[in-house]
Amino acid sequence: MPELVFFSGTMDCGKSTLALQIEHNRSARGLKGMIFSRDDRAGRGKLSSRLGLVTDAVEIRDGQDLYAYLVDHLSHGGRADYVIADEAQFLAEEQIDQLARVVDDLGLDVYAFGITTDFRSKLFPGSQRLVELADRVEVLQVEALCWCGARATHNARTVGGVMVVEGAQVVVGDVNQADTIGYEVLCRRHHRRRMTAASEKAAALSPDVLPVQAV
């Protein structure tokens, strides 16, 4: 039976990497996927991971009906054997409902990837709706680490390396960008105490691209 599966976790836990792996595995077997994304770090219409992998995607717009988009695509001879939706936390609740309808009415598997909570430790509306509707919720097992080395469980927003707890829920930035708006993963203790890597002069443990050392 087709399923709506929500893969969740903090930043840096490999969500987009897994989305790209699912796409690779299925396309290698001759299947064709419809890939949606929103506000990806690589720009509009992209799905990328911090490992440096990237593929094209359909950029989701405010108010866009994802079910109607799939129906129109299929009605005009397009093919879609499954759906991937990355950065699903940024979707509106009704768009999550539309993805559920894709599963139920079109018979397609939908794999949604997203962060569960924002920098204030509050649920994103899209993620909350996914938890409510998904056939399965998979918490990714690749553990992101706080600067202290403990398991990271919370996402923090920083401005100039200083953690902030007020502001708009969605502000696009990147991890470890100390001179501007950035994001960092922290354990609960250091999130509660607002202690970031920069404030504690700790080395960053999660660079954008994994270092490669010649042997």
> Residue 180 CB: number of other CB atoms within 10 A?
11
Strands 154-159 and 33-37: unpaired
Residues 6+ positions from 91 with CB-CB distance below 8 Å: 38, 60, 85, 99, 126
Look up residue 88 and give its DSSP letter: G
DSSP at 203: P
Q: Torsion angle, CA of 22/213/42/48, rounded to 10 degrees?
A: 0
- Among residues 3, 59, 87, 143, which one is catalytic? 87
Q: Is 59 a catalytic residue?
A: no
d(CA 88, CA 24): 20
**Of the candidates 184, 161, 174, 185, which has an alpha carbon nearest to the alpha carbon of residue 41?**
174
Phi-psi region of 105 (alpha: psi -120 to 50; beta: other; left: phi over 0): alpha
- Measured in whole angstroms, the distance separating CA 126 from the mean position of its chain's CA atoms is 11
User: Residue 132: enclosing H or E segment and its boundaries?
Assistant: helix 125-133
Catalytic center residues:
87
